[in-house]
Amino acid sequence: MNAPVSATPAETLRTALAGLLDGLPPTQAAQAVDRLIANYRGRTPTDAPVLRDRSDVAAYAAYRMPATFEAVRSALGALAEAAPAEWAPDSHVDVGGGTGAATWAVAATWDGERPVTVLDWAEPALALGRELASSYEPLKSAVWQRSRIGSALTIESTDLVTVSYVLGELTDGDRRAVVDAAASAARSAVVIVEPGTPDGYGRVIEARDRLIAAGFRIAAPCPHSAACPIVPGSDWCHFSARVSRSSLHRQVKGGSLAYEDEKFSYVAATRFPVATAEGRVVRRPQIRKGQVLLDLCSADEALRRETVTKRHGTLYRAARDADWGDAWPPAAAD
């Protein structure tokens, strides 16, 4: 299936994914998804990938790529907001990228073509990623390279490194080595995304600390580079991305809604100065009669609740439009 020439990366990816399961019975795809859910995340060593063949990879891509794409695109969007307006990555390495969801997310965030390398252990995932990328001109030249993601990982110098939904599959030592390798290779920025669970948040915080120790500054979601103000074990920082699902995608996943919400935790860190937000909305805003309650992580390294009422005028209207994960206050309401 070919997308229109003017289609966005998101539209092109959606069209390419819709064609993946042509000829594969829905029940077979659903069974493959169930098996992969049970075995893929965090239970399989990196030297024994579970994505055994094209059918496995097609089912997994249909199941996970839309959600991973939206989560990573959200994190990259926060990085883009904090970065200087003229900055865009001139090269990108996607560590553990599999079928390339993060690579598509980068293409959706910054226009233009750039050198891209996707590193992953699973050859069938790389092969399908290459096939999907062939449908979008700026990604046709991407390099899909088999590489063990662990302590022996080497990454050539690049502007941006993404590591999405990977750290949970690794041992403690391999996880630290991968973050350190990303920090050493990145000339400008590293973005790490994990599931929005307490464990995923814990891995992000560990990575955040290592990036700061390597000389990076935090661009998002935190409005500061100090220690996270959340008391360990009491809560966790995570966000939500709305994911549109096609009828085929709903069939594979066994759901009926036209959308789902992907919960994720992330950190975006840079080597260049950034304009961090004064605060970040860290919970879904509570809209009540005449007021909006915002839970914020603030630049003064604290968590606080702000109540915005009608008497705040423009700020109140902005608060009613604010979403979980947004910077606060928005520039237009300052």
CATH number assigned to the domain comprising residue 105: 3.40.50.150
pLDDT of residue 254: 61
Range of the structural domain that residue 309 is part of: 279-333
Decide if 23 is inside a domain.
yes
- From 247, 4, 313, select the one nearest 136 (Cα to Cα): 4
Residue 4 reports pLDDT greater than 60: no
* CA distances, 93 to each of 24, 276, 287 (Å): 32, 24, 40
Decide if 2 is inside a domain.
no
Q: What is the percent of the chain with per-residue pLDDT over 70, rounded to a whole number?
A: 87
Decide if 229 is inside a domain.
yes
Residue 2 reports pLDDT greater than 60: no
Last residue of a domain, one of 253, 270, 287: 270
Numbers of helices and strands, H then E, in the chain: 9, 13
241 shares its domain with 173: yes
What is the chain's alpha carbon radius of gyration, rounded to the nearest angstrom?
20
Residue 158 reports pLDDT greater than 60: yes
148 shares its domain with 263: yes
Last residue of a domain, one of 247, 270, 293: 270
* DSSP letter assigned to residue 63: H
Q: How confident is the model at residue 251 (pLDDT cuts 50, 70, 90)?
A: low
185 shares its domain with 104: yes
Residue 186 reports pLDDT greater than 60: yes
- From 238, 244, 184, select the one nearest 75 (Cα to Cα): 238
216 shares its domain with 316: no
24 shares its domain with 169: yes
pLDDT of residue 39: 58
Residue 333 reports pLDDT greater than 80: no
250 shares its domain with 284: no
Residue 139 CA, chain-centre distance (Å), reads: 18
Query: Domains in the chain: how many in total?
Result: 2
175 shares its domain with 287: no
- Backbone conformation region of residue 165, classed left if phi is above 0, alpha if psi is from -120 to 50, else beta: left
Residue 133 reports pLDDT greater than 50: yes
Q: What is the distance between the alpha carbons of residues 82 and 183, in angstroms, rounded to a whole number?
A: 19
Mean pLDDT is lowest, of 18-22, 139-143, 304-308, for: 18-22
Decide if 121 is inside a domain.
yes
Q: How confident is the model at residue 46 (pLDDT cuts 50, 70, 90)?
A: very low
Mean pLDDT of the chain: 89
176 shares its domain with 139: yes
Residue 95 reports pLDDT greater than 80: yes
198 shares its domain with 135: yes
Decide if 128 is inside a domain.
yes
> Other C-beta atoms within 10 Å of 88: how many?
17
Residue 103 reports pLDDT greater than 90: yes
Q: What is the distance between the alpha carbons of residues 326 and 287, in angstroms, rounded to a whole number?
A: 15
**133, 114 contact by CB (below 8 A):** no
212 shares its domain with 284: no
Q: What is the distance between the alpha carbons of residues 176 and 94, in angstroms, rounded to a whole number?
A: 17
**58, 64 contact by CB (below 8 A):** no
pLDDT of residue 71: 97
316 shares its domain with 170: no
Question: What pTM does this model have?
Answer: 0.90
198 shares its domain with 295: no
Write the pLDDT tens digit of every residue in 50-65: 566 677 788 788 888 9
Decide if 4 is inside a domain.
no
Last residue of a domain, one of 270, 301, 322: 270
Decide if 221 is inside a domain.
yes
Decide if 62 is inside a domain.
yes
- From 217, 161, 149, 166, select the one nearest 185 (Cα to Cα): 161
pLDDT of residue 51: 60
